[in-house]
Amino acid sequence: MSTEAFRPAKKSLLDRLPVSSHIRRSVGLQRTMLLIGVVLCAVFLVTAVFAPLLAPYGYSQISDDGGTFPAQAAPGGKHLWGTTVGGYDVFSRVIWGSQTAATVIVVAVVMAIFLGVFLGLVSGYFGGWLDRVLVVVADAIYAFPTLLLAIVVSIAINKGQSGFWGGILACGFAITAVFVPQYFRVIRAEAIRLKAEPFVESAQVVGASSARIIGRHIFANATRTLPLIFTLNASEAILTLAGLGFLGFGIEPSSASEWGFDLNKAMSDASSGIWWTGVFPGAAIVLTVLGLTLVGESMNDLNDPRLRGRRRAGTKGKGRESKNQTEVTA
């Protein structure tokens, strides 16, 4: 018999992708929650990418060929979700706000991943005084309240407000300072565990350099949880950005649309019965964070061997029960 018959079937690229592989492994309510999260995230990403095509007006547009937009107009007509006190179209502001949120997520989380992973690998592998210093600094940063630290960093960078890219970078640096300790802790713990594994010790014995060991052996195994951390931190980035905008330390409204700023301006409208200026930006924040959280938590459950073991045990138990019932019937 050929040895090829005993070789496991090679998985396709789609099966190896994080979210796709988790959907295939999920069952029941867990799969439903994961699919809902994926759909919400997909809607958010599509809206952010195609914002110029979906939004009927610009984020700071207050007039068109028909004249100036009315202030606080109720939903309907050419303003699907109404207008704000400044005459901005609420629907367009929400659409453009998704693009701002997506840009901040990419800038902030990518910077945090690169810096946190690099420091975590170096600290965990080499140890010594460098490890102790980095751990103390990370713990000190982690002890600060997230939003307060983001406000301090934002003020230090651009005095609290700036243009689009200035605000994006300010928010990105602020959120990066908050998230780096999280990535650092996870990667450092994995690096400490992996450097004691036999395959790493074997590489050291044959004379492999530290850079090669870290790059080829430790990095690939220590970063398997990054997709999970990314989804959870992306939701935190949206909340942090909304908090900065709500408190007046975010992006200037004339430079970009931001959901937190729109919520701040909608506070005075709520007491007058004008609900649409706050409901729609708030719903955008809630649904986006909900989608990212559902995806992250579902991936966390599916990556837990204990939960997978219980699911398999439950499946086998049902199979044995069905088999016994069939035998009794026969």
The 10s digit of each residue's pLDDT in 146-198 is 777 777 777 777 665 556 676 677 777 777 777 888 888 888 888 888 887 88
The pLDDT tens digits of the residues spanning 27-61 come to 677 778 888 888 999 999 999 999 989 988 888 88
Q: Cβ distance 147 to 243 under 8 Å?
A: yes
Residue 141 makes CB contacts below 8 A (sequence gap 6+) with: 149, 177, 178, 180, 181
DSSP E strand stretches across the chain: 63-64, 67-68
Which structure tokens are listed for 179?
A: 């998230």
CB atoms within 10 A of CB 112: 26
CA distance 197 to 195: 6
Give the least confident one: 52-66, 150-164, 228-242, 299-313: 299-313
Q: What is the three-class DSSP state of 82?
A: coil
Between CA 198 and CA 260, with CA 113 as vertex, the angle to 5 degrees is 150
305 pLDDT tier (thresholds 50, 70, 90) = low
User: Does residue 106 carry a pLDDT above 60?
Assistant: yes
Q: What residues contact residue 99 under an 8 Å CB cut-off, 6+ apart?
A: 47, 48, 49, 51, 257
Q: For residue 6, count other CB atoms closer than 10 A to its CB.
A: 7
Q: For residue 315, what pLDDT band results from cuts at 50, 70 and 90?
A: very low
> Which tokens hold the place of 33?
């929650």
Amino acid 269: pLDDT: 80
Length of the chain: 330
Predicted local confidence at residue 322, as pLDDT: 46
pLDDT of residue 104: 84
Residue 327 CB partners (closer than 8 Å, separation 6+): none
CA dist 44 and 106 (Å) reads: 13
Tell whether the model's pLDDT for residue 2 goes beyond 80: no
Report the C-alpha gap between 90 and 66 in whole angstroms.
Answer: 18
> Taking the complete model, does pTM exceed 0.85, yes or no?
no
CATH placement of domain 16-66+76-307: 1.10.3720.10
Asked if 240 and 177 count as a contact pair (C-beta separation under 8 A), the reply is no
Q: Rounded distance, CA 110 to CA 188, Å?
A: 18
Mean pLDDT computed over 101-107: 86
Angle, helices 259-270 vs 226-247, to 10°: value is 50
Q: Taking residues 95-116, what's their average pLDDT?
A: 86
Per-residue pLDDT at 245 exceeds 80: yes
What percent of the chain is predicted at pLDDT more than 90?
A: 8
Element (H, E) at 258: none
